[in-house]
Structure 1
Amino acid sequence: MDLKDDGVGLGLRRSLLGSLRAAPAGTFDFLEAAPENWIGVGGTLGEAFAGLVSRHPLVCHGLSLSLGGPAELDETFLQRLRRFLDTHDVAIYSEHLSACGDSRGQLYDLLPLPFTAEAVAHVAARIRRAQDVLGRRIAVENISYYAAPFQAMDEIDFVNAVLAEADCDLLLDVNNIVVNATNHGYDAQEFLRALPSARVRYIHVAGHRDEAPDLKIDTHGAAVSDPVWALLAEAYRVHGRRPTLLERDFNFPPFAELVDELDIVRRQLADAGHGARHVA
């Protein structure tokens, strides 16, 4: 099922299953799930998942493909993933522009890649192969990071080079731009404006934790901050309206508070459609 440009979505987390199933029609427009958490799941949980995604468009955001890692791509997993995406008519599949494993297995973290021409060639080739096996374009997400080894180019130049060489799409994470701009001392709006609008498939917005004036931690466990809301409004102005997902992975508030944040996204999308600016 396709997504509308003004659609708002929530993560299909097990902790939210009851609230998502009970939510009135129109509360959210689409759902996002990590396929690793749902492939092969049956029983009551599997039935709840199938019921939700039969009624709402689904996007999938992967956790374990390790597009930039040194180990061989797991093509057995890619084949299972393709069947899952096809079975559930998944609108978009995305992954992180990162590494999360080595030759010994999963490292259970999203590690930044070197910002080098060699890394561009390496990850772009793996993205192209993943797209071939999956039979679809994928979107890669600009990740948050705290250490940045081997920076032969700026982050924005690295991201844009990967998108061009892999000929893939972008999952634009607005919170990650705010986090990285603070932690690494660059201009968030300048970074945002330098991204290619034509490749932006959908947007993530999330909360973070302020450790210090110059240190933010990407947590997905807090309400969205004012700087992130402001940059989201700018993203719509610069790149146009896109389906937008509110990410929350733990420390869940009452469901009504998540709906209130979705309403802020809806207002910003509506204002963007009328050529207006809205800052929460």
Structure 2
Amino acid sequence: MYPKTLPLHGTGLGLRRPMLKELAATDLSRIDFFEVAPENWMQLGGRLGKQFRALTERHAFSAHGLSLSLGGPEPLDLDFIDQVGHFLDQHDIHLYSEHLSSCSDHAHLYDLMPIPFTEEAVQYVAARIRQVQDRLQRRIAIENVSYYTPLATALSEAQFINAVLQEADCDLLLDVNNIYVNSVNHRYDAAAFMRSLPAERVVCMHMAGHYREAEDLLIDTHGASIIDPVWALLQQTYTHTGPVATLLERDFNLPPLAELLQEVAQIRHYQHGSEHDRLHA
């Protein structure tokens, strides 16, 4: 019903409030877009609200939600969806994405819980995604999430994601670090998993760091630098998807902005390399 678009391009950075002061004194010409969690910004006023508005007037933005709870047991919060829709329109935000997870049960759990990998869950979640898209009158993207204990495995993780995408007719925000984290924790081949997902539905990608708790347990923290195997997986992913818009996420342990921009530049380098390879293949 809602046509697929590719509204973002190049490299992006997840915007966090502590960055605002440094951003004002930084050359942002190499950042093509920013991403925010709407829950953290849509009620913001005063000085911070004005700073945010000034950024959305000059730069492309995407929004990555935290609390829609697509797999949750309660009815969707329609008032909240309307507030998100107003925020997206007010700031001309190009893309709205959400996690393929559950995060509430009579209250917010403040964590992203996995959804059972079953046919019943496919139908349930897809219906909720379609409801959100109808309410917003726009296509949304869902993100593959990290998880630590599967709730049910009638379908594989890849089969579940593919089935939801097909049934809901929505897009995919592909988190490369989450694939790597899950591949270690659940012992599968990260590159093979990545290639099993539909390249034509990928509208944006995320890159981030994680914490190594043990050799066989990684924790998705967004609190560290990206490691070499995740960079390598990104390069492999570009051969599957092409140089899709890609964003750096960092949620805490924030280093100086210049250090984050080095990782953004590394993403850009791999994007340009993949585009060169495609043109000369």
**TM-score of Structure 1 vs Structure 2, range by shorter chain:** over 0.9
Q: Once superposed, what is the RMSD of the aligned Cα atoms?
A: 1.3
> 194, 217, 234: which one pairs with 2:219?
217
Q: Which blocks of at least 5 consecutive residues in structure 1 are unaligned?
A: none
Q: Is the 8 A contact 1:21 1:52 kept in 2?
A: no
Greater displacement, 15-24 / 126-135: 15-24
The aligned residue for residue 132 of structure 2 is 130
1:101 paired to 2:89: no
Is the aligned partner of 1:77 residue 2:80? Answer: yes
Structure 2 portions without partners, runs of 5+: none
Q: Distance in 2 between matches of 1:265 and 1:77?
A: 33
The 5 Å alignment of 1:2-81 reads 3-5=7-9, 7-81=10-84
In the TM superposition, structure 1's runs of 4+ consecutive aligned residues that sit over 3 Å from their partners are 1-5
- 1:1-280 correspondence runs (5 A): 3-5=7-9, 7-102=10-105, 104-275=106-277
Deviations 1:23-74 (A, max 9, x none): 2141311100000111121000100100111111010000000001000000
The answer on whether the counterparts of 1:100 and 1:108 sit within 8 Å (CA) in structure 2 is yes
What is the distance in 2 between the residues matched to 1:256 and 1:158? 39
Q: Classify 1:70/1:216 alpha carbon distance in 2 versus 1 (closer, same or farther; 3 Å).
A: same
Partners of 1:3 and 1:57 within 8 A in 2: no
SS of structure 2 residue aligned to 1:273: helix
Q: Which moved more, 1:20-29 or 1:248-257?
A: 20-29
Amino acid of the structure 2 residue aligned with 1:100: C
Q: CA deviation at 1:22?
A: 2.1
Q: Is the 8 A contact 1:35 1:60 kept in 2?
A: yes
Equivalenced residues, count: 274
Q: Deviations over 1:93-133 (max 9, x none)?
A: 0000000001x121111000000000000000000000000
Q: Once the 2 structures are TM-superposed, how far is the Cα of residue 254 of structure 1 from its aligned partner?
A: 1.5
Percent identical:
56
Amino acid corresponding to residue 138 of structure 1 in structure 2: I
- In the alignment, the residues of structure 2 paired with residue 220 and residue 25 of structure 1 have an alpha-carbon distance, to the nearest angstrom, of 22
State the TM-score, normalized to the length of structure 1: 0.96
How far residue 255 of structure 1 moved from its aligned partner, in angstroms, is: 1.3
Q: Helix, strand or coil for the counterpart of 1:275? A: helix
In 2, Cα distance between equivalents of 1:47 and 1:2: 28
Contact 2:8 2:204 in 1 (8 A): no
Which amino acid in the other structure matches residue 75 of structure 1?
L
